[in-house]
Amino acid sequence: MGTDSFWFLTEEICRLRRQNAQDFQLNDTDTDTSPRSKSRNAPAGTSPFQVLAEALPQEKFADPEWTAKGERRASVPMTGLETLWFNTGTLCNLACVNCYIESSPTNDALLYISRAHVTRFLDEIEADQIGTTEIGYTGGEPFMNPEFVAILTDTLERGFDALVLSNAMKPMRRHEAALLDLKERFGDKLTIRVSLDHYTKDAHEAERGPRSWEPGTSGLKWLSDKGFSIAVAGRMLPSETMDDARAGYGALFAEMGICVDAADPMRMVLFPEMDEAKDIAEITTECWGILNQNPADIMCATSRMVVHRKGEGAPRVAACTLIPYDDGFDMGATLAEASRDVSLNHPHCARFCVLGGASCSA
C-alpha cells in the first residue's frame, strides 16, 4: 500500500468514527457495552410520561394458562399475517428515559438484522402464499443499520407496503438522496412514522434528551416538504386527555407547515404508556364479552416480529413488537411455526393492546 493510500484510509476511518460519535451523541467517557444497558447520556430524572399505578404483584402474569385469581387467561389466535415486523437492531442514537425496548447507543441486545435474513422471511411469505401486505421496520433506529436502505429497497421492489418507525434525526438524514429515489419509484407504498414524544419541546426533551427537538422536528419537516407519506407517533402526559394532545399536535403541525392531520388516528398515533412493573388487570376469556372486544382485533392476531437476539445464531419470530426478550413470546424460527395462538401473559398485552386498544401497524 502506498503512502497516499495509507493516509487516505486513516483519514477515512477517523471521519467515520467522528460521524458515528455524532450520530450516537456519545460522551467521550461512555464505554458501557453490556447488553440491554441504558446509555449514560440518557436524560436525568424520571420520564414525564408515567403509568400512575401501584407496583405489579409478583403473582400476576406468572402462568400462561391461568391468572392469579385462577381464571382462564385469554389468548389470541392468528387470523392471518397481515403485517410482518423486523426489529432492525436495538442500537439507537438516543437513549430515552422510558424506552420499552431499552434502545440506546450501547444496547445491542437485538443485533442488526441482515439483508439475507430479511430476504429469507420475505421468501417464506411468497413461497407459502401467506398474503402479508405490509412490512414494518422498527428499532432502535432503523437507519443505523448499515444494510437498511438495501433492505427497504428490496421490500418495496417485491411489492410490499413498507412502514418505517424513525426519529428522523441524523441517521435518517444521511440517506436523503436514497429516500427521495424510493419515494419517486414507489410513492405512498413507503410510509415513515416519526416519533415525536410531545408537541412541546420541554416534554419531548425531558424524555429524549437535550438537543433532540430541533433535529427531530427538522427531519419531520423535511419529509413533509418532500411529499413523503408520513405519520407521527406521540404520547400524552398523565394530565392530558386525548383531545388535549390532538389539539396540541395540530397546533404544532399548523405552525410548522407539517402535512399531518392530527385528528386522524392513523396519521397521528397516540400510544398508551407502558410499564411492565406497574399493576394492571389480567385479561381472562370472560373479558372479551365484558369489554365487547373481539380477539381478532388485537395486534397479535395479524402480526409478528422477527428479532435477532444477541447470542443466537439466527433470527427468530416473536409474537409481538413490544415483547422481544420474553421467552414465553418466542414463537419459533419460521413464520409457519409462529402462527399458533398467543397467550396474553404480559402486562403490555393488557395495558397497550386490550385495554389501551393500540396497534403498532398502520
Q: What pLDDT was estimated at residue 42?
A: 58
Q: What pLDDT was estimated at residue 274?
A: 84
Question: Per-residue pLDDT for 257 more than 60?
Answer: yes
CA–CA separation, 298 vs 283, rounded Å? 12
CA–CA separation, 107 vs 99, rounded Å? 12
Per-residue pLDDT tens over the stretch 175-191: 999 999 999 999 999 99
Per-residue pLDDT tens over the stretch 69-82: 999 999 999 999 99
Strand 342-343 relative to strand 75-76: parallel, antiparallel, unpaired?
antiparallel
Q: What pLDDT was estimated at residue 324?
A: 95
Residue 49 Cα to chain centre, angstroms: 17
Question: Per-residue pLDDT for 160 more than 90?
Answer: yes
CB 182 within 8 A of CB 152: yes
Q: Average pLDDT in the 127-156 region? A: 98
Lowest mean pLDDT among 100-104, 131-135, 157-161, 318-322: 100-104
Q: What pLDDT was estimated at residue 98?
A: 87
| Higher pLDDT among residues 360 and 253, named by residue | 253
CA–CA separation, 40 vs 308, rounded Å? 24
CA–CA separation, 322 vs 307, rounded Å? 11
The cell for 150 is 438495501
DSSP state string for 280-338: -PPPBTTHHHHTT--GGGSGGGTEEEEE-BTT-SS-EEES-TT-SS-GGGEEESSTTGG
Q: How many CB atoms lie within 10 A of CB 199?
A: 24
Predicted TM-score (pTM) above 0.75:
yes
State the pLDDT confidence band at 255, using cuts at 50, 70 and 90.
very high
Q: What pLDDT was estimated at residue 7?
A: 32
CA–CA separation, 250 vs 228, rounded Å? 18
Question: Per-residue pLDDT for 43 more than 70?
Answer: no
State the pLDDT confidence band at 20, using cuts at 50, 70 and 90.
very low
CA–CA separation, 269 vs 195, rounded Å? 9
Q: Average pLDDT in the 343-362 region? A: 87
For residue 298, give the nearest of 209, 243, 361 by alpha carbon.
361
Question: Per-residue pLDDT for 133 more than 50?
Answer: yes
In angstroms, how far is the first alpha carbon of the chain from the final one? 52
Q: What pLDDT was estimated at residue 271?
A: 86
Give the CATH fold of the 50-354 domain: TIM Barrel (3.20.20)
CB 93 within 8 A of CB 141: yes
Question: Per-residue pLDDT for 198 more than 90?
Answer: yes
Lowest mean pLDDT among 46-50, 242-246, 356-360: 356-360
Q: 147, exposed or middle or buried, with CB in 10 Å at 0-12, 13-18, 19+?
A: middle
**Mean pLDDT for the chain overall:** 89
Q: Average pLDDT in the 329-347 region? A: 97
| Higher pLDDT among residues 219 and 360, named by residue | 219
State the pLDDT confidence band at 85, using cuts at 50, 70 and 90.
very high
CA–CA separation, 285 vs 295, rounded Å? 10
The cell for 261 is 392531520
Could you give the 3-state DSSP secondary structure of residue 123? helix
> So where are the chain's domains?
50-354
Burial string for 248-258 (b: 16+ CB within 10 Å, else e) reads bbbebbeeeeb
- Tell me what percent of the residues of the chain surpass a pLDDT of 90: 80
Q: 82, exposed or middle or buried, with CB in 10 Å at 0-12, 13-18, 19+?
A: middle
Lowest mean pLDDT among 1-10, 213-222, 233-242: 1-10
For residue 131, give the nearest of 86, 82, 85 by alpha carbon.
82
Lowest mean pLDDT among 32-36, 231-235, 292-296: 32-36
Question: Per-residue pLDDT for 269 more than 60?
Answer: yes
Output phi, psi for 203, to 5 deg.
-70, -40
Q: What pLDDT was estimated at residue 9?
A: 33
Peptide bond into 159 cis (omega under 30): no
State the pLDDT confidence band at 362, using cuts at 50, 70 and 90.
low
Measured on CA atoms in the order 99, 101, 105, 106, is the torsion positive or negative?
positive
